[in-house]
Amino acid sequence: MKIGTLLKTFRELRGIDRNEFHNESGFSRSYISAIENNKKENPTTNVLQMYAKICDVRVSTILRIQEDSERYSWDNKETVKKVGEALYKT
């Protein structure tokens, strides 16, 4: 799964809409959309840190799930969503 799709999944799992994320992050709505639609394929460390902070998850966890999703061919958003839901339950 591409990183932008994963970041969007974490945002949605936390119940944060794009408008709220925009308000909390200071990123423009168009920039958030470009990231989450994988038009910006390599988000900066600052972007990852902001998603991690707002979504209450570690950057290392985001990167690990993204790596695992590629390794195990988790192209299905539902699989990643289940992993994220399990993460938030702990």
- pLDDT at position 86 is 72
Grade residue 74 by pLDDT with cuts at 50, 70 and 90. Answer: low
3-state secondary structure 48-88: HHHHHHHHCCCHHHHHHHHHHHHHCCCCCHHHHHHHHHHHH
Query: Residue 81: is its pLDDT beyond 60?
Result: yes
User: Does the pLDDT of residue 82 top 80, yes or no?
Assistant: no
- Taking the mean position of all CA atoms in its chain, how far away is CA 13? 9
pLDDT tens digits, one per residue of 60-70: 989 988 888 77
Check residue 11 and give its pLDDT.
94
- Tell me, what DSSP letter sits at residue 10? H
Identity of residue 14: R
The second-level CATH assignment, the architecture, of 3-89 is: Orthogonal Bundle (1.10)
Degrees, nearest 5: CA angle 26-15-29: 30
> pLDDT digit string (tens) for 5-60?
999 999 999 999 999 999 999 999 999 999 999 999 889 999 999 999 999 999 99
- Cβ distance 13 to 82 under 8 Å? no
Q: What value does the CA radius of gyration of the chain take, rounded to a whole number of Å?
A: 12
